[in-house]
Structure 1
Amino acid sequence: MHELVQAVFNGDEKTALHQLIYTLSASGKRYLLRNEILQAFADYCHQSQKPAYFYYSSSVGKLIQYTHEIIFEEESTWFVIRPRIANQEVWKLTADFSSFEQTTPQALLDVRDRLVDRYQNHILEIDLHPFYESSLRIDDARNIGQGLAFLNRYLCNQLLTDPEYWVEMLFKALHGLQYDGIRLLLSDRIPSGIQLAKQIKPALKFLSELEPHEPYEKFRSDLQELGFEPGWGNTAARVKGTLELLDRLIYSPEPGILEAFVARVPAVFRVVLISVHGWVAQEDVLGRDETLGQVIYVLEQARSLENELREQIKLAGLDLLGIKPHVIILTRLIPNCEGTFCNLHLEKVQDTENAWILRVPFGEFNPEITNNWISKFEIWPYLEQFALDAEKELLAQFQGKPNLLIGNYSDGNLVAFLLSRRMKVTQCNIAHSLEKPKHLFSNLYWQDLEDQYHFSVQFTADLISMNAAEFIITSSYQEIVGTPDSMGQYESYKCFTMPQLYHVVDGIDLFSPKFNLVPPGVNENIFFPYSQKENRDSNLRTQIHDLLFRREDPQIYGHLDHPKKRTIFAVDTITSINNLTGLAECFGKSQALQERCNLILLSSKLHPSQATNSDEAAEIQKLYDIIEQYHLNGKIRWIGMRIRSSELGEAYRVVADAQGIYVHFAHFESFGRSILEAMISGLPTFTTQFGGSLEIIENQENEFNVNPTDLEETAKKILDFLEKCDAHAEYWHEVSEWMSQRIHHKYNWHLHSNQLLLLAKMFSFWNFVAPENNEARDRYMEALFHLIYKPRVEKILEKHKGG
């Protein structure tokens, strides 16, 4: 980047840069973001009659393409340049154009503070870089999120370069495995790694003489004589296969062999999924709007994990010892539960044998607050005591410690951190959606937003939990580091300011192997292709068709003059980020779309009076205003009611029956559960280009990714698709089949659970053999918790006590 900057500054294009800066500063704006900068540069090129190549290929053009922010001060202009993914540089251009030099992140944070008139000379700097400095790091940004593969390669290399040490460490890890005092895998008859390597040979010779399907219990005592305890397999062939993998791993280590062996090691039996926020129940009580997707995710993950663990325990031959998996969803108990089971201490998860919802109440403080549902933005004062109470409950339920803690969302991840520190258990984080990048400038103006959102607490909690976690799973690569054009969710925590509170100089190492892509699945018993007629309920189909197209109801607005037109379908809660209003406006502005399609929206609410906050009420009213402004009566149906998952699955299929399409038009989407549901149902799906949903489509030449800020281009993409459908009778079916198969093969819960358990085992092993600087790092996180987080939550608690 230095060469490019110097080429601009010292070359013929310096005048162009000077003119552009003058134009931008004349606008009166002191802070410009990438889209504004690119648009201003395009206007400049046009007005200056620059040749076509100048916008992209000139030195100044390349510099502007890399520039994500420009900040104006009286004496200088600051450039935030992102030359590549996960890399940011700060450059300072003096007002007299005499100097253009790279500077420090600290200088940028000071500039941002001055911008909002909240600069202070001495401020706490949070810098996590020293804790990652000696850690393993992925060296290629393209491999970010592939931490497991990286660790596998590294460990195999270590086995090759220092086999004696690493075989001994492998032996110690295996030798320590047990379940409630029952020794697994190895007994004291095998005292060392060298002896283990030797002992495998006679065991394999013995097993090769048995019938492959010989049950383990028939030869258990023979293996124990050789020093091998239960856990290697349930048949002679399975035990032999597992020992052969270990033998190959010792003598010719390869990543694939290591992964296959670790997958078979019985090391995880008890798992806690932490989703604190509440309203975690089952069908018909799947969360409130702000956490609906998370609750569905956690329930399906619990079912899948329990099933996967059961299968692994069976294949390891441990079910014969009475060992069975135990999965607990930890959430809060809500006394005033509005007729649901959210006040039930313990509830079995449907379609499982031993997965449970464990509800622990918040400490009372003010019962008028704590006995009721609490918004996710107000939950923070109760989490520390909740973690302490939950620890006792979990130990009682499990009759021992869990093997894995999985946090969900910022609050669940903080509780996972607190429990992990106390119980010394592997911690996994799942953000689902980080609030900071969703709310533009939320850190810069945190003081103005504090009463409503308490972002100072939430962003601090995020920093603590993401750094303390042994591993983090994300649904997409973009969730970590974004794209060349946009910053990732975790990347936004790398360097930021909370004016007059602290500066984050280096908040997270994006190249850490702790980041791993493990996308969720979709419940294929509920969401399956429309073409599977044999699995569909004809009565349900009729009911849902009536709901979507004809039924009159106080919770349904609008009728369709021509119900046979192709349907544009959208399902989401009504928020400004989810942008159902933008989709309605896109439809309203395009006469061509209206002539060919109807628009059907399915949300949970229809009237402003149902809104839980002013933003939601405003968005609902805005949707009515758009319908009236563009005269959409007769062309739109808006269904504002919560329907069961089985009904939603059929709704997608009913729209697919008539060759409709699905549009997800959010301004930002971290992943998008409804996208998976629509695609697997066979609906050709258009998704926002901002966020992880970009990866779900894995684009067919950008045909199905849309820009929610460009209504005209979105309408054109949909119309182009419809034209292709008209020109080629099979085109809709080809796209439908491709999308359905993509979800079926790549986004399924079996793959998710298998990979998650593999990560848990591998990172537990890694922390055992190479604990690095984790204790120092975790002590630093505890300091942030006690010195920043707790004093700030006390302020929220004082308000609640007074309320």
Structure 2
Amino acid sequence: MLNKLKEFHNNHRSAIYSLFQQLLQKESEGSPFLLRSDIQKLYNDFLDSEQGAQLNKSIMSELFSSAQEISRSEPWIYLAARVAIGKFRYFRIHSEEVEIDEIDVTDYLEFKERLVGYTPPTDEFLLELDMTPFNRDFPKLQEPRSIGKGVEFLNRQLSSKLFVEASDGDRMMLNFLRVHQHRGTQLMLNGMVDDVDSLQTALRKGVRYLNQVDADAEWEDVHATLASYGFQPGWGRKVEDILAMFHMLMDILEAPDPTILEQFLGRIPMIFSIVIVSPHGFFGQENVLGLPDTGGQVVYILDQVRALEKEMKEQIYHQGLDIEPNIVVLTRLIPDSHGTSCNQREEQIAGTSGSVILRVPFRNEGGEVLNQWISRFKIWPYLERFSRESERKLLSYLGARPDLIIGNYSDGNLVSFLLSRRMKVTQCIIAHALEKAKYLFSGLYWKENPEYNFQTQFTADLVSMNAADFIISSTYQEIAGTEDSIGQYESYSSFTMPALYRVINGINIYDPKFNIVSPGADERVYFPYYEKERRLTETHDELNELIFGTATEFSRGVLHDREKPLIFTMARLDKVKNITGLVAAYAQSPRLREQANLLVVAGSVDQNDSADAEERYQIETMHRLFEQYGLDQQVRWLGKHLQKNKAGELYRYVADHRGVFVQPALFEAFGLTVIEAMVTGLPIFATMYGGPLEIIQNGKNGFHIDPNNNAELADKLADFFERVHKEPQYWDKLSRAAIDRVQEKYTWSLYAKRLLTLSRVYGFWKYVSNLEREETRRYLEMFHGLMFRNLAAETH
């Protein structure tokens, strides 16, 4: 590309000079940085000029079409080009000399640092984090379309190397099968099978024997004979299950196939106890949603636990074992619990038989328990002490180390790293939402935003992401974005925090540790509005009062025209969720206000009820919008957090009134409320930034909206209601398509099966290969000890 650029600009210097001057124009009046949308608009405007026409469909257009960011300070222009998903090249341009050179990422980041006023002392260098050397020899995906399919790639790559090239796979598989046991009971193989030949002999004997056994026989009926061949429990409960396992293993030893290998590993009895870590916010089952730092993540985890326990029970049963699975949600104990159960040390999880919430307090340096809630931005100094005490509590509660640890969000992921490191357990992390993608230039301006402690959080993210055995993402976009936008994880590939450190290669989204496993909606609570026999009709009077009743201490607005359909939204009241943006869009559209009412369930109506500064600001903004646009007869705002069953029925109640659901977030990693609303039958309008872009097939089962364009958002809603008024069946068509989409693609049953399979596959490859990445782990321990601990200690 560089040679073509140089050749082109030699022949079009005048036009390119004009372009560069426009890029530098008014720099002093605004930010020295231009982002992709600004770059595209500026370049397209230039193409419309007489000089700009020379650049149309040129190599210069190719460069600018891939430009993700421009940093400028006359006469210099530095450009970051995203030439492919996860692939960047960097260019330096001298506007006066009209010279273009390619530079490395360090030069680019150094220039950005200077633009925000940081220049390192001449005798010092800034720490640079580069994970490349640790991953140089490790297999990587090549195609962007393969991102998020790590386990399939890993099986193809490593099974070939292990079983064919190294010719050592048979022995490693034998050793792997021999290590499985539960509480002192040996599983899979006993001492009679001591080499690969004896394993193959035992398998042949087993198949011949089982082919002569009654088809209805179970393990108890055949165990004596199979034990004499060398087999222990765990192969299956029924003869057909045992035979299937024997045949798969014989195929693997004969000629390994990645698909069969995954199926075989997915049935091995390896997972009996799971720890799920989520320290921040108020983690409980009732009356917690809407409290600070507490939202969809809690719902996600509780639904995840129920699905995992159900699937584990079913799998353990089919493995022929009588073992009760254990799932522990590890969270923080908060003595001042705001009327919730967050001050209870143990709490049974409803809808499960053996899963619990285990709460451990935060302690200060003197060992004293902290009574108050602490913001997720300020909990970093307490996490190491929390992890050490949690380890003791977990071992005491479970009686042994767990088989899998799952971290949630940045703080939970760091704790999962600390626990898995000491307990030597497979570690999975789930981001849910990475703050770096939410706050523009958050790394670059970390010093200007001390209340967020971005420097500590991003350091924790880098440690846990690189240490994790595998990473679960709800959507492809969460990892890799789109052709035009950077993914959440991708944003950690390179960035700088001036005066602290530079990240040259922090995370590689082509690493096979990334896997897409989408969650679902709780089928007990969220089901189609037309399933009348399951409806909670006893709540309808209460819901009617909530929506159409008089003003109360937890509401504002009384809907004047009850015949209008409802535009419904429900979320936390913070900047990113953009609820006030939706209210503003509605308020500014006379056409939309004429056609529909707006129902908002978010936050609190009284600023004094919130301890969160951001939420208080949003509450103030909501009241200001009501006053400015006279919304009290068309908008109903409920500052009330509904229990799940009532929330599910509220979706259906809105569907009864031919309403819609809007999710207007500036960014949404996944969007649980989106699939909850869809499966109840509500037509959906949801943000185009994040997970909903994949969940919704635009125009078919919902609509994508730009949360930054209020006029367009209001027009899309108004157009929809006008069409429904003319074609009532159009609402039914969108409703049915939304239900079908969720039932086919987003269920907790599918999620649980996939997550358990992943944990077994990664556990296998850790055992038999260098997937352990011990050298990486040691480096991360050093980075954690020297960088994270100091930053956490300085948290304020």
For 1:43, the aligned partner's letter is: D
TM score, norm. by length of structure 1 = 0.95
| Structure-1 residue corresponding to 2:434 | 434
Find the residue that maps to 1:288 and give its secondary structure.
coil
| 1:240-279 aligned within 5 A | 240-279=243-282
Corresponding residue of 1:316? 319
* Equivalent residue, structure 2, for 1:423: 423
- Partners of 2:114 and 2:35 in 1: CA distance: 17
Determine the structure 2 residue equivalent to 1:627.
626
Counterpart CA distance in 1 for 2:748 and 2:290 is: 20
Q: Which residue of 1 aligns with 2:39?
A: 37
Q: Aligned letter for 2:464?
A: S
Residue in 2 aligned with 1:213?
A: 216
User: Is the contact between residue 15 and residue 52 of structure 2 (CA under 8 Å) also seen in structure 1?
Assistant: no
Query: Paired residue for 1:65?
Result: 65
Of 633-642 and 243-252, deviating more is 243-252
AA of the residue aligned to 2:112: R
Q: Does residue 414 of structure 1 match 2:414? A: yes
Query: What residue is the counterpart of 1:464 in the other structure?
Result: 463
Unaligned runs of 5+ in 2: none
Segment drifting more, 547-556 vs 214-223: 547-556
Q: CA-to-partner distance for each residue in 1:403-448, whole Å, 9 max, x for gaps?
A: 1010011111111111111111111001111111111111111112
Aligned to 2:341: 341
Which residue type is aligned with residue 36 of structure 2?
Answer: R
* 1:223-281 Cα shifts (integer Å, max 9, x gaps): 10111100011111111122122222222432322222111111111100001114211
2:198 alignment counterpart = 195
Match of 1:737 in 2: 736
Could you say what the CA RMSD is over the residues aligned between the two structures, in angstroms? Answer: 2.0
Change (3 A) 1:527 1:782: same
- Alpha-carbon offset, residue 723 of structure 1: 3.8
Which stretch of structure 1 is more off in the superposition, 409-418 or 341-350? 341-350
Post-superposition CA distance 1:333-361 (Å, at most 9, x none): 12222333222222111121111111112
Whether 2:136 is the aligned partner of 1:133: answer yes
Contact 2:696 2:702 in 1 (8 A): no
Cα drift, residue 725 of structure 1: 2.5
- Matched residues in 2 for 1:772 and 1:290: separation? 35
User: Does structure 1 conserve the Cα–Cα contact (< 8 Å) formed by 2:289 and 2:641?
Assistant: no
Does the Cα contact within 8 Å between 1:167 and 1:194 map onto a contact in 2?
no
Deviations 1:340-397 (A, max 9, x none): 3222222111121111111112224479981111111111111111111111111111
Shift of 1:551: 4.2
Match of 2:778 in 1: 779
Which amino acid in 2 is paired with 1:553? T
1:119 is displaced (CA, Å) by: 2.0
Relative to structure 1, the CA distance from residue 4 to residue 85 in structure 2 (aligned partners, 3 Å threshold; closer, same or farther) is farther
Distance 1:48 1:545, change over 3 A: farther
Say if 1:473 and 1:26 are closer, same or farther in 2 by CA, change over 3 A. Answer: same
Distance 1:287 1:666 in 2: 16
* Alpha-carbon separation, structure 2, partners of 1:655 and 1:474: 31
Q: Deviations over 1:72-105 (max 9, x none)?
A: 1234210111121111111001132342011000
- In the other structure, the counterpart of 1:182 is 185
Contact 1:4 1:63 in 2 (8 A): no
2:230 aligns with one of 205, 216, 227? 227
Deviation at 1:48, TM superposition (A): 4.5
Structure 1 pair 634–17 and aligned structure 2 pair: CA distance change class (3 A): farther
- Code of the residue aligned with 2:740 in structure 1: it is Q
Moved more, 715-724 or 145-154: 715-724
CA deviation map 1:16-46 (0-9, x unaligned) = 3322321231222421111111222233344
Task: Say which SS state the counterpart of residue 453 (structure 1) adopts.
Answer: coil
Structure 1, residues 505-539: CA drift from partner, whole Å, max 9, x if none?
11012111000001111111111111111100212
Conserved in 2, the CA contact under 8 Å of 1:494 and 1:504?
A: yes
Aligned to 2:791: 792
Q: Is the 8 A contact 1:565 1:597 kept in 2?
A: yes
Cα offset for 1:164? 4.1
SS in 2 for 1:370: coil
Task: Read off the aligned partner of 2:781 and give its amino acid letter.
Answer: E
2:636 partner SS: strand
* Whole-angstrom distance in 2 between the partners of 1:177 and 1:24: 63
Q: Percent identity?
A: 38
> Who is 2:575 aligned against?
576
Equivalent in the alignment of 2:360: 360
Partner Cα distance (1:343, 1:105) in 2: 48
| SS of residue paired to 1:783 | helix
Provide closer, same or farther for how the CA distance between residues 420 and 367 of structure 1 changes in structure 2, counting only shifts above 3 A. Answer: closer
Contact 2:78–2:92 (CA under 8 A) maintained in structure 1:
yes
1:202 deviation in Å?
1.4
Q: Is the 8 A contact 2:556 2:632 kept in 1?
A: no
Residues 1:370 and 2:370 aligned together = yes
Say whether the 8 Å CA contact 2:290–2:572 is kept in structure 1: no
Deviation at 1:61, TM superposition (A): 3.2
TM-score by structure 2 length? 0.96
Deviation track 1:212-232 (CA, whole Å, cap 9, x = no partner) reads: 221211111111011110001
The secondary structure found in structure 2 opposite 1:291 is coil
Q: Relative to 1, partners in 2 of residues 1:114 and 1:371: Cα closer, same or farther, differing over 3 Å?
A: same
Change (3 A) 1:424 1:213: same
Q: Secondary structure at the match of 1:730?
A: helix
1:79 is paired with a residue whose SS is: strand
Distance 1:682 1:573 in 2: 22
Indicate the SS of the match to 2:567.
Answer: strand
Q: Distance in 1 between matches of 2:59 and 2:706?
A: 28
**Residue equivalent to 2:394:** 394
Cα offsets for 1:634-654 (capped at 9, x unmatched): 211111111111111111111
1:383-782 matches, cutoff 5 A: 383-450=383-450, 452-700=451-699, 704-772=703-771, 774-782=773-781
**Is 2:81 aligned against 1:81?**
yes
Partner SS state of residue 766, structure 1: helix
Determine if contact 1:279/1:287 at 8 Å carries over to the other structure: no
Q: Find the aligned partners of 1:120 and 1:738 in 2 and give their Cα distance.
A: 57
Summarize deviations over 1:644-702 as a string: whole Å, max 9, x none.
Answer: 11111111111111111111111111111111111111111011111122111133479
Task: Specify whether residues 712 and 164 from structure 1 end up closer, same or farther in structure 2 by C-alpha distance, changes over 3 A only.
Answer: same
User: How far, CA to CA, are the matches of 2:785 and 2:418 in structure 1?
Assistant: 12
Query: Partner amino acid for 2:361?
Result: P
Q: Do 1:281 and 1:287's aligned partners in 2 also have CA atoms closer than 8 Å?
A: no
Q: What letter corresponds to residue 37 of structure 1 in structure 2?
A: I
More off after superposition, 297-306 vs 365-374: 365-374
Residue 165 (1) aligns with residue 168 (2): yes
Quote how far apart the aligned CAs of 1:620 are. Answer: 1.7
Question: How far apart in 2 are the matches of 1:612 and 1:578?
Answer: 18
State which drifts further: 509-518 or 147-156.
147-156
Cα pair distance change 1:595/1:366, threshold 3 Å: farther
In the alignment, is the contact (CA less than 8 A) between 1:105 and 1:505 conserved in 2?
yes
SS at match of 2:168: helix
Q: Which runs of 5+ in 1 are unaligned?
A: none
Contact 1:273 1:405 in 2 (8 A): yes
Deviates more, 1:642-651 or 1:726-735: 726-735
CA distance in 2, matches of 1:27, 1:163: 62
Separation (CA, whole Å) in 2 of partners of 1:287 and 1:580: 14
Matched position secondary structure for 1:240:
helix
Aligned residue identity for 1:540? T
Separation in 1, partners of 2:63, 2:506: 26
- What whole-Å deviation, never above 9, does each CA across 1:715-743 have from its counterpart, x for those lacking one? 23223333442343322111111111211
Q: How far apart, CA to CA, are the structure 1 residues paired with 2:769 and 2:486?
A: 32
Cα–Cα, structure 1 residues 662 and 4, in superposed 2: closer, same or farther, change >3 Å?
farther
Q: How many residues align?
A: 790
Indicate conservation of the 8 Å contact 2:24/2:73, yes or no: no
Q: 2-side partners of 1:179 and 1:210: how far apart?
A: 28
